[in-house]
Chains A and B, each alone.
Chain A
Amino acid sequence: MVLAAMTLADGLMRWLANRPIEGVRDVGMVVIAVAVTCCIPVGLMERANISIRIAGTVFGAATGRALDALAALVVEVVMVAMAWQFTLFAGKIARAGETTWVLKISTYPFWYTVAAILWMAVLVQLIVVVLEFSKLRR
């Protein structure tokens, strides 16, 4: 919302005074990445992913629960791979000394933050996996 307010102010300044706020778009790109990544653990916790539950309906509730647990494990594996690759990616950005175009701010801290949030998402998904497998015992 802060970034939205800044973007709004930037647009208004450009329209009314022909003086856009320097660097809003510049900073926006990396801040957006962090803000959006913050949504991923929430989405995993809320199980907001779209999946088709035909097998569970056709083969019964127990099969459905088993497939849910298996799917949660698959999601966990993919999240681990993504978090790992983003950690490597942030390191690459740091070594290359990449900066934003206008304000010349180093971008690697933002990408390390993205990687850290993804590792948090891995932990959240781990909880989801444990919960899904515990349903199988009941």
Chain B
Amino acid sequence: MTPLLIGALGLAALFVLILLQVPIGIAMIIVGVVGYALQAGWAPALTILASEPSGLLSSVDLATVPLFLLMGTFATAAGFSRDIYAAAAALLGHRRGGLAYATIGGCAAFGAVCGSSTATAATFAKAALPEMLRRGYAEGFSAGTIAAGGTLKSLIPPSIVMILYCIVSRTFIFDLFVAALVPALLAIALNLVAIWVIVRLHPEYAPRGERTQLRERLQALKAAAPVMLLMIAVFGGLYSGVFTVNEAASVAAVLSLAFAFARGRLDRESLWRGLRESAAATAMIYLIIIGASVFTYFMTLARVPEALIALIGGLDVSSLSIVFFLLIAYLILGAVFDEIAAMLITLPFVLPIIEKLGYDAIWWGILNVVVIELGMIIPPIGIIVFILHGLAPKIALRTIYRGVVPFIVADLVLLALLTLFPEISLALPRALK
């Protein structure tokens, strides 16, 4: 049997199991072990059920995931999202579309102290949406802005998607975090431009608000000070080289817990609920990563990546065409599949091709994150759009999807820029080396 046939059969078996509602991580473990057993026998195949997971369970790098999840839990319980939004709204609320700008800025800032895009969108749906609707903002525009703000999180370090990419691709987390800085700023800028264009074309979507008094502005900024302090401690410590990624994650978890307690916003019930949710999310992420690792082991043993490289090397097409083809394939896959799982399943095939084409694994990581970001708001399964609809059922799903269209365009522009100009992502990490 040729490696390509083994790979194709492995993928087909994986999709059958996934369609039978077997959890994705477990499906990858099964296909990986069975595929390995068919090549090398059951005894060695079963041992990878301990040898691969043991390395991941004791990985200090991967342990940053639960720590950043805990930070997000405590930051949410401490009400940081409300404070950031209130401060941004006090500064910008009087401008046309000011609350929308404040939402994007607030989501970006909260994203820096929260590990999850869905949590960012959900908390801002509670903090920002009622205020925007109360001030007469259009439903679709308001919901679209919050959805776009939530997706920004994926690209803002510390991002769990980035950590998972680094673990599977065996690249340095710090390098990807540094590489994400300029693209993240670009993403924020493009989202702000999208809002600017919308409010110019449809002024009725976002009426001007009253200017707040200086005293109120200062009060709002004072309330948001702990979040700023947390951001400075985590980002400043990480990027100045004082802390490693793991230490920065520890700082984030410990400080956010301390702030939540100090502000009296963390009772026993919310602490327990937060810990349980973080533990469940940690288990889910580790099982997917273990599955991806076992699946990759099987694919590598079968020499599938080499066969694919040879196949693609024989094609008479440019490297950029292959990259665009892969990105389109990811967008289609992400529309019907979980985006993170899609990335982890395909990475063992795709990354060797990308590296063979002469591209950087860090650059591909950034593109993957942007594609995942897009997948969260693109129909038919835009998870963040569904979350917003769940929290605000009066706003029709179609209205929310219509509201996110300008932001999808902004994200597509970002994706095109990052693809055509890899230096946008790579210049900073190269300069720091």
Contacts and interface: CB of A to CB of B under 8 A. Distances in A.
A104 B203 CA distance: 68
Interface residues of A, number: 51
B19 A55 contact: yes
A11 B341 contact: no
Contacts of A53: 21
Nearest to A67: B21
A17 B431 CA distance: 29
B60 A88 contact: no
A67 B23 CA distance: 11
Contact of B24 (A30, A32, A50, A54): A50
A99 interface: no
B326 interface: no
A15 B237 CA distance: 10
B247 A8 contact: yes
Contacts of A75: 22-23, 26
Contacts of B59: 32
A46 B282 CA distance: 12
B3 interface: no
Contact of A52 (B24, B33, B286): B24
A85 B46 contact: yes
Interface in A28-50: 28-30, 32-33, 35-44, 46, 48-50
Range class of the B interface residue count: 35 or more
Nearest to B30: A78
Main DSSP-derived SS at the B contact region: helix
B283 interface: yes
Given A49-B25, A50-B25, A82 B286 contact: no
B46 A29 contact: no
B166 to A, nearest CB: 17
B123 to A, nearest CB: 19
Interface in A100-129: 111, 114
Contact of B279 (A5, A38, A70, A81): A38
A75 to B, nearest CB: 5
Nearest to B255: A8
Contact of B22 (A1, A64, A74, A86): A74
A49 B338 CA distance: 12
Nearest to A32: B63
| Chain B CB within 10 A, most for which of A50, A74, A75 | A50
Contacts of A28: 60, 63
Nearest to B47: A85
Given A48-B283, A85-B47, A11 B30 contact: no
Contacts of A25: 60
Contacts of B12: none
A28 to B, nearest CB: 6
Contacts of A5: 250, 254
Given A5-B250, A36-B66, A82-B49, A49 B21 contact: no
Nearest to B51: A89
B49 A48 contact: no
B29 A78 contact: yes
Contacts of A81: 33, 46, 49
B279 A42 contact: yes
B50 interface: yes
Given A39-B286, A40-B286, A111-B54, A74 B30 contact: yes
Contacts of A29: 58, 60
Contacts of B287: 40, 43, 49
Interface string B234-250: 00010000111011011
Interface in A2-29: 3-5, 7-8, 10-11, 15, 25, 28-29
A81 B32 CA distance: 14
A50 B341 contact: yes
Contacts of B29: 78
Contacts of B282: 36, 39, 43
B20 interface: yes
A89 B338 CA distance: 33
Interface string B187-231: 000000000000000000000000000000000000000000000
14 contacts: A1-B253, A3-B250, A4-B253, A28-B63, A30-B58, A33-B58, A38-B279, A42-B276, A42-B283, A50-B341, A52-B19, A85-B49, A88-B47, A111-B54
Given A8-B254, A36-B66, A88-B50, 8 more contacts: A4-B249, A25-B60, A33-B58, A39-B66, A49-B284, A50-B284, A51-B18, A51-B22
